[in-house]
Amino acid sequence: MNFRPADDTSAATALEIKGVSKAFGRFPALKSVSLQAREREFLALLGPSGSGKTTLLRVLAGLETPDSGEVRFGGEDFLALPVRRRRVGMVFQHYALFRHMTVAQNIAFGLTVRKAAERPSKSEIADRVNNLLQLVQLEGLDKRYPSQLSGGQRQRVALARALAIEPRMLLLDEPFGALDAQVRRELRRWLRELHDRAGVTTVFVTHDQEEALDLADRVAILKDGELVQLGTPNEVYENPADPFVFDFLGQTCRMPGVVAQGRLQVADWVSEAPAGAPQGAVEVFFRPDEVSFGAPDAPGLLAQVKGVAQRGPDVRIDCRVGEADVEFQAHGPTLPQGVGAGRSVRVLPLRPQVYAA
């Protein structure tokens, strides 16, 4: 196998998706989606169920044909190629291992189905299978059947099988979806390392924002078949394009406000409006833990603390702000200064986002 260190600075565009639309009957699954992935990039397609992310992945694999649009890979028209000539390694959500084949036979499958002229010799195939088993840390399990493996092991076999054909692109459909939380976190790290070593452009689908933000070089957020935002994890987290993205990427406090003459007013708190904020009635979004607490004469929203609850490392602070109940969060073993049930505090959102109402 050809392992190269990941080198992002010199990367050219590998995958180019232009205006791809796809409808199932009268249900539009994808509406003119356009995006690019760079060579050796790890791109996450993030969205709730029904957002079209899996459909897009299957279009890339060739398992679905878009109604319109273009898909190019390395400059080549990908849509003109049938599935089996695209050389994409796909890992399915439920792994789709061949149940009647052993682990070794599963991994070798993509090599053994090649035409005689292009097929490696038996010993070459055996060597390749052994290398891959080593890579996915499953040595010694080559004679097992899929039904005799744990979920995490199956997933690694599926990955080895996809890598065996030396894919030009790796597609992962909810790679951690069927695993429990502990295994999930371990495999996440490992998958990222594997991607960096294999140096293959990887597109993966997930509905878990934490996973996408933790793992990907860039995140494409989809909603109802449309691309809403594309950017690095930091960009999308710190500058969500719209209320949907903000809400989808983490816990959210939202309050109505008004922007006028460069000032933003939320309840009794008036501050300078962020640059580029829309005028008039707005919705103000902020994270429940991105706030600072101050004395009642400090700037911020006046809040009546109704209750405080310790939850593991976090503290939940239930407050009444104006007419609304709002839940804030603080980290660490001690409560922020001045906070306690029944007391009044000022809560200052540190990074409020303002969207038109």
Q: Is 322 helix (H, G, I), strand (E, B) or coil?
A: coil
Asked if residue 113 binds other proteins (CB under 8 A), the reply is yes
Contacts with other proteins, 34-73, as mask; x by CB under 8 A = ---------------------------xxx----------
274 vs 286: CA distance, rounded Å? 13
Asked if residue 86 binds other proteins (CB under 8 A), the reply is yes
161 vs 187: CA distance, rounded Å? 17
Among the listed ranges 73-81, 93-101, 243-251, 301-309, the one in contact with other proteins (CB under 8 A) is 93-101
> How does DSSP classify residue 117?
T
Pairing, β 263-266 against β 269-272: antiparallel
Which lies closer to other proteins via its Cβ, residue 118 or residue 297? 118
Which lies closer to other proteins via its Cβ, residue 62 or residue 288? 62
- Closest to 266 measured CA to CA, from 246, 286, 279, 284: 284
193 vs 156: CA distance, rounded Å? 13
Among 92, 246, 269, 285, binds other proteins (CB under 8 A): 92
Asked if residue 161 binds other proteins (CB under 8 A), the reply is yes
How many of the chain's residues bind other proteins (CB under 8 A)? 26
Q: Is 134 helix (H, G, I), strand (E, B) or coil?
A: helix
Would you say 173 and 57 are in contact if contact means Cβ atoms under 8 Å apart? yes
Which amino acid, residue 324?
A
Among 20, 59, 97, 172, binds other proteins (CB under 8 A): 97
Asked if residue 122 binds other proteins (CB under 8 A), the reply is no
Which lies closer to other proteins via its Cβ, residue 62 or residue 336? 62
Point out which residues bind other proteins (CB under 8 A): 61-63, 83-90, 92, 94, 96-100, 109-110, 113-114, 161-162, 164-165
